[in-house]
Amino acid sequence: MSKKVAKNEEAPPKAEAKTEAPKKEEAKPQKVEKSAAPKAAAKKKEEKGVHALYKLEGDKVARLRPLCERCGPGYFMADHNDRYTCGHCSFTRYKRA
Protein backbone atom coordinates (compact mmCIF):
# COMPACT_ATOMS: atom_id res chain seq x y z
CA MET A 1 0.00 0.00 0.00
CA SER A 2 2.76 2.49 0.76
CA LYS A 3 4.86 3.71 -2.13
CA LYS A 4 8.53 2.96 -2.02
CA VAL A 5 10.91 5.42 -3.63
CA ALA A 6 13.10 3.78 -6.20
CA LYS A 7 16.83 4.32 -5.96
CA ASN A 8 16.85 6.16 -9.28
CA GLU A 9 14.06 8.57 -8.27
CA GLU A 10 14.80 11.50 -6.00
CA ALA A 11 12.56 12.40 -3.10
CA PRO A 12 11.27 15.99 -3.08
CA PRO A 13 13.54 18.21 -0.98
CA LYS A 14 11.67 18.91 2.27
CA ALA A 15 14.54 20.69 3.96
CA GLU A 16 14.39 23.61 1.51
CA ALA A 17 10.82 24.50 2.47
CA LYS A 18 11.78 24.69 6.15
CA THR A 19 14.68 27.07 5.55
CA GLU A 20 12.52 29.52 3.60
CA ALA A 21 10.01 30.09 6.41
CA PRO A 22 10.90 32.98 8.77
CA LYS A 23 11.71 32.07 12.33
CA LYS A 24 9.05 32.90 14.90
CA GLU A 25 11.58 34.18 17.41
CA GLU A 26 12.64 37.01 15.10
CA ALA A 27 9.05 38.18 14.48
CA LYS A 28 8.15 38.72 18.17
CA PRO A 29 8.74 42.19 19.62
CA GLN A 30 10.61 42.59 22.90
CA LYS A 31 8.42 42.83 26.03
CA VAL A 32 8.80 45.91 28.21
CA GLU A 33 8.65 45.38 31.96
CA LYS A 34 6.13 47.46 33.86
CA SER A 35 6.37 48.41 37.49
CA ALA A 36 3.86 46.85 39.88
CA ALA A 37 3.32 50.01 41.98
CA PRO A 38 0.82 51.80 39.64
CA LYS A 39 -1.33 48.68 39.34
CA ALA A 40 -1.69 48.22 43.09
CA ALA A 41 -2.44 51.89 43.71
CA ALA A 42 -4.89 52.20 40.81
CA LYS A 43 -7.53 49.66 41.79
CA LYS A 44 -8.12 46.95 44.35
CA LYS A 45 -8.81 43.52 42.86
CA GLU A 46 -12.33 42.20 43.03
CA GLU A 47 -12.85 39.22 45.27
CA LYS A 48 -13.47 35.91 43.54
CA GLY A 49 -15.12 32.68 44.52
CA VAL A 50 -17.27 32.28 47.62
CA HIS A 51 -16.12 35.60 49.08
CA ALA A 52 -18.00 37.47 46.33
CA LEU A 53 -21.30 35.67 47.04
CA TYR A 54 -21.69 36.14 50.81
CA LYS A 55 -21.24 38.95 53.33
CA LEU A 56 -20.78 38.48 57.08
CA GLU A 57 -22.87 40.73 59.29
CA GLY A 58 -22.07 39.96 62.90
CA ASP A 59 -23.22 36.35 63.44
CA LYS A 60 -25.39 36.25 60.33
CA VAL A 61 -24.51 35.49 56.72
CA ALA A 62 -26.15 37.56 53.98
CA ARG A 63 -26.32 36.53 50.32
CA LEU A 64 -25.21 39.27 47.94
CA ARG A 65 -26.75 37.80 44.78
CA PRO A 66 -30.24 36.35 44.30
CA LEU A 67 -30.84 32.61 44.03
CA CYS A 68 -32.35 31.08 40.90
CA GLU A 69 -36.13 30.64 41.16
CA ARG A 70 -36.12 27.51 38.99
CA CYS A 71 -33.00 25.72 40.27
CA GLY A 72 -33.44 26.54 43.94
CA PRO A 73 -30.88 27.07 46.71
CA GLY A 74 -27.24 26.69 45.77
CA TYR A 75 -27.53 28.28 42.32
CA PHE A 76 -26.66 31.96 42.35
CA MET A 77 -27.56 34.24 39.46
CA ALA A 78 -24.92 36.23 37.59
CA ASP A 79 -25.09 40.00 38.01
CA HIS A 80 -25.15 41.87 34.66
CA ASN A 81 -25.80 45.57 33.98
CA ASP A 82 -29.55 45.27 33.46
CA ARG A 83 -30.38 41.70 34.51
CA TYR A 84 -29.63 38.65 36.64
CA THR A 85 -29.01 35.37 34.77
CA CYS A 86 -28.75 31.76 35.94
CA GLY A 87 -25.84 29.94 34.31
CA HIS A 88 -27.40 26.54 34.97
CA CYS A 89 -30.86 26.90 33.39
CA SER A 90 -30.55 30.30 31.58
CA PHE A 91 -33.37 31.87 33.58
CA THR A 92 -33.22 35.68 33.32
CA ARG A 93 -34.69 38.25 35.70
CA TYR A 94 -34.46 41.90 34.66
CA LYS A 95 -33.54 44.66 37.10
CA ARG A 96 -35.94 47.51 37.65
CA ALA A 97 -34.80 50.79 36.16
The answer to whether the predicted template modeling score (pTM) of the entire model surpasses 0.95 is: no
Average pLDDT over residues 28-56: 70
pLDDT for residue 21: 57
Question: Can you give the pLDDT at residue 90?
Answer: 95
Mean pLDDT for 23-41 is: 61
pLDDT confidence of 52, banded at 50, 70, 90?
confident
Residues in contact with 53: Cβ distance below 8 Å, sequence separation at least 6, in sequence order:
63, 64, 65, 76
Evaluate if residue 37 carries a pLDDT over 90.
no
Mean pLDDT across the stretch 16-45? 60
